Amino acid sequence: MMKRLLSASAIAMIAAVGASAAHAQQAQTFYPQGYIGGDAMFWDLNPDQGSSRDDVGLRLRGGAQINDYFAVEGHLGGGGSDGPVELDYLVGAYAKGILPVADEIRLYGLAGFTEVDFDIDRESGFSYGAGAEFDVAQNLSVGADYMRYLDKSDYTFDAASVGLRYRF
């Protein structure tokens, strides 16, 4: 009796997985596909001399995914202060290369330009980073990334972010 119950449970689980995989294959994505997201942004200003400054801010991001492998994305972030350094804003535009690992998991790389305004200085320059995201629902994913927003001769400005993305 127990063996039959376990066998029936195993068959039901295999059928459910097969049905969900078939449903995922039937769901077709149409491009371009817009998206928006919000993240907690853990930033770090690291001067070559002196002590590092870090805090937590917020970042909004949005973009358009052109196909399975490429998107364009913009970031708008701000908030947080550590001593005399306050992040007034960052704004940037990036090309996003995407590597689908599975139907619901993607790795990505970002490259573009960012302007960052601290209350003590405003700079702009080349930016790059990498991240991953995982679908938790049909149009909703969670993700994390690490960005090098600025790499100047006397300091770097980096941020690790974790948040949600909604595709429409």
Instruction: For 96-153, write each residue's pLDDT tens digit.
Output: 999 999 999 999 999 999 999 998 889 999 999 999 999 999 999 999 999 999 999 9
Supply the DSSP string of 112-163, one letter for each residue.
Answer: EEEEEEETTEEEEEEEEEEEEEEEEETTEEEEEEEEEEEE-SSEEEEEEEEE
Structural domain tally of the chain? 2
Give percent of the chain above pLDDT 90: 76
Look up the domain containing 12 and give its range. 1-28
**The pTM is what?**
0.81
Same domain, residue pair 93 and 149 = yes
Residue 15 sits in the same domain as residue 54: no
pLDDT at 28: 73
Q: Are residues 70 and 1 in the same domain?
A: no
Q: Is the dihedral of CA 38, 135, 159, 112 positive or negative?
A: negative
Residue % of the chain over a pLDDT of 70: 84
What mean pLDDT is reported for the chain? 88
